Structure 1
Amino acid sequence: MPIYPAGSLNTAALTAPDLYIQLIPPKTRYINGVATDILGIVGIADWGPVNSATLIGSPGDASQKFGTQAVRKYDLCTAIAVSIQGGAANIRAVRVTDGTDTAATSTLKDTAAATGATLTAFYTGTLGNSLSATLATGSAASSWKLTISLPGVSPEVFDNITGTGLALWQNIVSAVNNGQSGIRGASQLVVATVGATTLAPVALTQTVAFTSGTSGNTTLTDAVLVGVDGVIGSARKGMYSLRGTGAQVANLVDVTDSTQWPTMLTYGLSEGCYMVTQGIAGASYTTVATALTTAGCDSYALKVLSGDWVYWQDQVNGQQRMIAPATFSAAKIASLSPHQNALNKSITNAVSTQRNLAQQPYSIAEIGAINAARLDVITNPCPGGSYFGHRSGLNCSSNSAVNGDNYTRMTNFISLTIAASFGGVIGELQTPDVRRTTKSTMESFLQNLVDQGMIGDVNGGAAFSVQIDAANNPDSRVALGYMQADVQVKYLSVIRYFLVNLEAGQSVSIVASATPRAA
């Protein structure tokens, strides 16, 4: 009684009489949507991997992986701190440099002051200059212990390292680079290389400091954060390091160069990522609107805020700082469900803005002009009360059917979910079962969105439609290997204007309802 997975047995060519069992996967399949809360942030730091997306889920993650926030342009740790306070809890952070960054180093010496082992910081950056290493007698007899320390991080201890002469130094290097089996893993702070000495360490205890680490933050421009895409023989840099991370919202910290906006827009379209940026600090909305028009960016994949920057209380550095509005905006958008719009949603960690601090509140006419210019602005008050929030909820598309934050987010969410869920169809035979299964799976996913109140027709119409049949898959296309699904989805509308018709006065005649009011 052989058992076969479905598709592995040629049922038209059986020769041996027997009972054959084929395992058929369930025809009804359910899919879950992709994560929409992943926020990509690109900036500079004094520690951590370069041009590599790193998962950050808490302030502790940020300090251990990138160091402490600093008062400077493009600072990654500051943007992470603001974003976490703003509700973002699933961050992919990318550190960039100008290419001049170096790793701090130190050496352990023998009795003749020759190098027994060289220790190099795991990452480039000035934070590596805070490293120290202590080589002392080990816990076991005739052994050594190496302790590597970095402020704010638990020390790494490699104990009971044995050997003499060159063998001892080789064992120290092996413990650091490979870990000690069953005791601890390899160092996450330094990399070790062995010297050529055959002599013992200089003394029973020696402590060495690290020097010469640089962060590569000297000659930075907005273009460095945008970076370059990877081609054969070169790695991705900057923004392009976020490819494949699932980040659906991205913030290139403090980038204001409008000539970079088309490149950011192109990336956003290709990756299904909402790119959020802003004008130069203090630039009027008319100036930013002109820059947007000149850049030629007219698409749902880019959001541009005015040059009215936001103030934030930096508890680490003990001062109130002016922060790029995109840092607040991107975090807020990423923290919202994709069917929600950022319009009128409270941003709780904003202290003030340039206009608010100057006591120059926006007039209704100015807010209207900002909306008409395809921009957004963070200010206080909002329609819902005296709090800071977005006042347009728009991307930079001129098409009113697709220019809401929610359009960008929902379209990317649904598109990326379908892309992640139906790749298995490729290579299958196009049969009625395959069409039916694919259609029902899409419909079950979309029905879940209806049930969750994420899509629908408020007036009672159908929320979605999926077609995969002979009408949109004629023989001429099927013969070429095509299977086409036509999907329509109706998004819930965002209330932008609430009109109340009020008739009041002494002469108003009111006809009371015959139905008694509920208590």
Structure 2
Amino acid sequence: MPISQQGSVNTTSLIVPDLYVQIVPPQNLVLNGVPTNVLGVVGTASWGPVDEPTIIGTMGDYAQQFGSVVPRTYDMGTQVAIAVQQGAQNFRCVRVTDGTDASAYTLVPGSNASFTAMYTGSLGNNITLTLGAGSKPNTWMLTVLLPGFVPEIFDGLVGDGAAFWVGLAAAVNGGLGPQRGPSLLIVASAGGTTASPAPFSITLGSTSAGADGATQVGSAQLLGTDAPGRTGLYALRGQGCGLAVLADCADPSSWTTQAAFGLQEGIYMILTTPAGDTISNAVSTKASIGLDNYAAKLMFGDWLWWSDQVNNTIRLVSPQGFAAGRLANLSPEQSSLNKQVYGIIGSQRTGTPGSGQNTAYSTAELGALLGAGIDLICNPQPAGSFWGVRGGHNTSSNPATDGDNYTRLTNYIAETLAAGMGQYVGQVINSNLFQQVRSTQLSFLNNMYGQGLLGSTDGSLPFSVICDTTNNPSSRTSLGYVQSDAQIQYQAINERFIVNVEGGQTVQVSRQTLPTGQVN
């Protein structure tokens, strides 16, 4: 009674009389949507890997991987902290440097043994190392401490002379077994030392200090390169990001490059104009650059005052983190328009509380910005006196594609199909394949419809899928082509709500007649 997978045995050429059991896989592939809340952030930090995407979920995770928030331009932690305040909780962080970053390094006094910080950055200068008596007689214990990190203890170190230092380096770099893995903070080197061990307490960086390499960072470092060993923004390729931010990057020459990357990767890029920008300059700059693309959202350079709780200061920060974080916390069919953002205490235009400034945007000013495809964060909003995104638009000049919802929903559907439909490649082309392809897509779209991501004003089904002989003639299928055509109607966003009121003593009120039991 041989058991096999369907398709692995030619059932038309069996000779031996027997029972043949074939395992038939489910005929309809089920698609589960890709995440839409993954936010990529590229910027500087005081610790952590460089040009390597790192998964972050909370500010605690961020502190362990990249150190704390640093009050400076291009700081990655600032944008992550702001986005977390908006509800974002799924990040891919890429640290960049200007090439001058260095690891904290120190020599053990009276020896050639040394310790180097695991990563470059100034945070490594706070690491302290203490060698003292171990918990057992005639042993030594090395303690590695960094504020905010779990202490690392390497106990039971033995030996003398060169053997001791070689053993210490092996323990730090390779661990002491299942109970004590290698250090996550330092790298040790015996350095050929033959001196007997002696107690010490040293601070890493006393010989050579660690450096962040953030002083000369600009748009070139944030964008990076797309060659093998990708850097900067290009390190986010294939990371599944739905949104991305180059922290504080206000260089107009980078806008079209960012937008092109967004189109390639299905990422909604959140851009900003320079701090203190004027409306006329923002509009003319966008036009001269030629930015007209649904993959990018350009925020006006009315930068925002934000209370940095880590550094106990009020800082002026770009609007990117607020917009990106809010969008990351919205379903893809939603718009950022009229949605409250949190943590803002003022803007360059309105000033901080108590500054005496209180200049709201006029309808003409809003019209000039939104008409040019430039969004902004301001107060008030149509729903009340709170800070929020005022337009919900991307940079496209096409009214059919200029909404947040178009970008995010299109990317969501496309990425989901790209992630799941590839299983049909290599299958035999017949009517059964057509049925499976169509069924798979209809099942996914029906799930979206049932969850409210798709809908229609008249209750009709807002999608259709064709995959049969009408769009797959034999002249094409004989060459190995299969085509599936889907039409999907998105739900529009209520941007211009008109309420007509007719009042006066001469008005004649007409009432609608409703079925019995219903109230007018």
| TM-score for the superposition, normalised by structure 1 | 0.96
Tell me the matched-pair count: 510
- What is the DSSP-based 3-state SS (H/G/I as helix, E as strand, rest coil) of the residue aligned with 2:344? coil
What is aligned with 1:59? Answer: 59
What is aligned with 1:290? Answer: 284
Displacement of 1:206: 1.0
Task: Verify: 1:354 aligned to 2:354, yes or no.
Answer: no
Distance, in Å, in 1 between the alignment partners of 2:476 and 2:172 is: 60
Question: What letter matches 1:399 in structure 2?
Answer: N
Task: Verify: 1:518 aligned to 2:519, yes or no.
Answer: yes
Distance, in Å, in 2 between the alignment partners of 1:390 and 1:364 is: 15
Displacement of 1:434: 2.1
What is aligned with 2:354? Answer: none
What is aligned with 1:132? Answer: 128
What is aligned with 1:506? Answer: 505
Distance, in Å, in 1 between the alignment partners of 2:449 and 2:443 is: 10
Question: What letter matches 1:327 in structure 2?
Answer: G
Displacement of 1:429: 1.6
Distance, in Å, in 2 between the alignment partners of 1:494 and 1:154 is: 48
What is aligned with 1:435? Answer: 434
- What is the DSSP-based 3-state SS (H/G/I as helix, E as strand, rest coil) of the residue aligned with 2:215? coil
Task: Verify: 1:193 aligned to 2:194, yes or no.
Answer: no
Superposed CA deviations along residues 438-493 of structure 1, whole A, max 9, x for unmatched, are: 21111111001100111121123321111111111111221222111111111111
Displacement of 1:15: 2.4
Question: What letter matches 1:31 in structure 2?
Answer: L
Q: Please, which of 236, 256, 259 is the counterpart of residue 265 of structure 1? A: 259
The 5-angstrom pairing of residues 382-421 of structure 1 reads 382-421=381-420
- What is the DSSP-based 3-state SS (H/G/I as helix, E as strand, rest coil) of the residue aligned with 1:422? helix
Displacement of 1:513: 4.8
Question: What letter matches 1:93 in structure 2?
Answer: C
Displacement of 1:514: 5.4
Displacement of 1:213: 0.8
What is aligned with 2:478? Answer: 479
Distance, in Å, in 2 between the alignment partners of 1:309 and 1:334 is: 20
Distance, in Å, in 1 between the alignment partners of 2:196 and 2:504 is: 100
The 5-angstrom pairing of residues 12-51 of structure 1 reads 12-51=12-51
Distance, in Å, in 2 between the alignment partners of 1:511 and 1:247 is: 54
Distance, in Å, in 1 between the alignment partners of 2:176 and 2:477 is: 59
What is aligned with 1:220? Answer: 217
Question: What letter matches 2:465 in structure 1?
Answer: V
- What is the DSSP-based 3-state SS (H/G/I as helix, E as strand, rest coil) of the residue aligned with 1:492? coil
Task: Verify: 1:311 aligned to 2:308, yes or no.
Answer: no
Distance, in Å, in 2 between the alignment partners of 1:230 and 1:193 is: 33
Question: Which runs of 5 or more structure 2 residues have no equivalent in the other structure?
Answer: 352-356
Compare 434-443 and 124-133 and name the one that shifted more: 434-443
Task: Verify: 1:169 aligned to 2:168, yes or no.
Answer: no
Distance, in Å, in 2 between the alignment partners of 1:514 and 1:238 is: 64
The 5-angstrom pairing of residues 57-96 of structure 1 reads 57-96=57-96
Compare 428-437 and 412-421 and name the one that shifted more: 428-437
- What is the DSSP-based 3-state SS (H/G/I as helix, E as strand, rest coil) of the residue aligned with 1:266? helix
Distance, in Å, in 1 between the alignment partners of 2:46 and 2:438 is: 51
Superposed CA deviations along residues 94-124 of structure 1, whole A, max 9, x for unmatched, are: 1100011111112335xxx222x32110000
Superposed CA deviations along residues 139-169 of structure 1, whole A, max 9, x for unmatched, are: 1232221111111111101111223332222
Task: Verify: 1:244 aligned to 2:238, yes or no.
Answer: yes
Task: Verify: 1:178 aligned to 2:174, yes or no.
Answer: yes
Distance, in Å, in 2 between the alignment partners of 1:378 and 1:279 is: 13
Over the aligned positions, Cα root-mean-square deviation in angstroms equals 1.5
Distance, in Å, in 2 between the alignment partners of 1:383 and 1:216 is: 44
- What is the DSSP-based 3-state SS (H/G/I as helix, E as strand, rest coil) of the residue aligned with 1:153? coil
The 1:236–1:501 alpha-carbon spacing in structure 2 relative to 1, beyond 3 Å, is: same
Question: What letter matches 1:29 in structure 2?
Answer: L
The 1:489–1:163 alpha-carbon spacing in structure 2 relative to 1, beyond 3 Å, is: same
The 5-angstrom pairing of residues 86-125 of structure 1 reads 86-109=86-109, 113-115=110-112, 117-125=113-121
- What is the DSSP-based 3-state SS (H/G/I as helix, E as strand, rest coil) of the residue aligned with 1:275? strand
Superposed CA deviations along residues 38-95 of structure 1, whole A, max 9, x for unmatched, are: 1111111110111111111111112221112122110111111111111111111111
Superposed CA deviations along residues 180-203 of structure 1, whole A, max 9, x for unmatched, are: 1121111110112222123321x2
| TM-score for the superposition, normalised by structure 2 | 0.95
Distance, in Å, in 1 between the alignment partners of 2:86 and 2:63 is: 18
- What is the DSSP-based 3-state SS (H/G/I as helix, E as strand, rest coil) of the residue aligned with 2:183? coil
- What is the DSSP-based 3-state SS (H/G/I as helix, E as strand, rest coil) of the residue aligned with 2:305? strand
- What is the DSSP-based 3-state SS (H/G/I as helix, E as strand, rest coil) of the residue aligned with 1:455? coil
- What is the DSSP-based 3-state SS (H/G/I as helix, E as strand, rest coil) of the residue aligned with 2:150? strand
Displacement of 1:170: 1.7
Contact preservation (8 Å) 2:79, 2:320: no
- What is the DSSP-based 3-state SS (H/G/I as helix, E as strand, rest coil) of the residue aligned with 1:351? strand
What is aligned with 1:496? Answer: 495
Contact preservation (8 Å) 2:394, 2:404: yes
Distance, in Å, in 2 between the alignment partners of 1:311 and 1:105 is: 37
The 5-angstrom pairing of residues 300-339 of structure 1 reads 300-339=294-333
Compare 425-434 and 403-412 and name the one that shifted more: 425-434
Distance, in Å, in 1 between the alignment partners of 2:19 and 2:378 is: 73
Distance, in Å, in 1 between the alignment partners of 2:252 and 2:410 is: 25
Compare 139-148 and 505-514 and name the one that shifted more: 505-514
